[in-house]
């Protein structure tokens, strides 16, 4: 087993295994809220069809019948995204995002609890791992199949967040059968 070092990639922690050769695809990238993406970030495909940083986080504190929801990472979301939150029965539209205060404002008021999952439709479903830093919209290489050292994946903890109960597993596929996360060797 050896690490693959692509001269065209900033992310160097891809493990070379004969049975799981790395497959890399080029995608259009959507930088949300001017928050640059880093090599090693897991990306999901947004409503625009472009990849962007995986949009999964949690509610920061209990909310009772309010449209403004404090979240642990508001930079992941954009106005007009639809999100699943906690036990809500359907996705809800985001009207605005306040990254300075860490809140998203929804089209309708809801109640939710601290640590409830918040997942964007589409952008919350992992596509692969970004191989280069990206600071503006454009094209970028994404690892869609292979083995990586999970300690170097920037937002691995967001990927492992529990999904809201109303998302059926067969409707929201992960990347576990295309990308394998291994501990440091």
Position with higher pLDDT, 137 vs 175: 137
Measured in whole angstroms, how far is the alpha carbon of residue 151 from the centre of its chain? 16
pLDDT at residue 17 in the model: 66
Non-local CB neighbours of 20 within 8 Å, separated by 6+ positions:
145, 146, 147, 180
| Stronger pLDDT, 22 or 106, i.e. the higher one | 106
Element (H, E) at 97: strand 92-98
Structure tokens at 4: 């693959």
- The pTM assigned to this predicted structure is 0.80
Classify 156 as helix, strand or coil: helix
Identify any residues that bridge with 52 across adjacent strands, giving them in sequence order. Answer: 44
Confidence tier at 167 by pLDDT (50, 70, 90) = low
Express each pLDDT in 87-121 by its tens digit: 887 889 999 999 999 999 999 999 999 999 998 88
**In the predicted structure, residue 173 carries a pLDDT above the cut 80:** no
For 37-85, what is each residue's pLDDT tens digit?
A: 899 898 988 777 888 888 889 999 999 999 999 999 999 999 999 998 9
Domains of the chain in start order, with CATH, are 2-53+127-182 (2.40.300), 57-120 (2.40.10)
CA 45 to chain centre: 9
Report d(CA 15, CA 159) in Å as an integer: 20
Residue 95, sorted as left (phi over 0), alpha (psi -120 to 50) or beta, turns out to be alpha
């Amino acid at each position: 087993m050896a690490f693959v070092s692509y001269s065209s990639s900033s992310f160097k922690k891809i493990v070379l295994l004969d049975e799981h050769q790395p497959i890399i695809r080029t995608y259009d990238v959507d930088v949300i809220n001017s928050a640059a993406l880093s090599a090693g970030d897991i990306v999901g495909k947004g409503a625009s069809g472009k990849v962007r940083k995986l949009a999964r986080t949690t509610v920061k504190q209990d909310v009772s019948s309010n449209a403004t929801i404090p979240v642990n990472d508001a930079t992941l979301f954009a106005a007009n995204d639809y999100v699943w939150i906690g036990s809500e029965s359907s996705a809800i539209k985001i009207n605005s995002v306040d990254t300075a205060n860490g809140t998203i404002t929804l089209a309708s008021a809801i109640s939710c609890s601290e640590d409830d999952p918040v997942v964007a439709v589409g952008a919350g479903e992992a596509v692969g791992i970004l191989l280069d830093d990206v600071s503006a919209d454009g094209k970028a290489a994404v690892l869609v199949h292979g083995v990586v050292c999970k300690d170097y994946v920037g937002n691995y903890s967001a990927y492992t967040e529990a999904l809201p109960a109303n998302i059926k597993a067969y409707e929201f596929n992960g990347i576990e059968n295309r990308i394998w996360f291994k501990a440091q060797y």
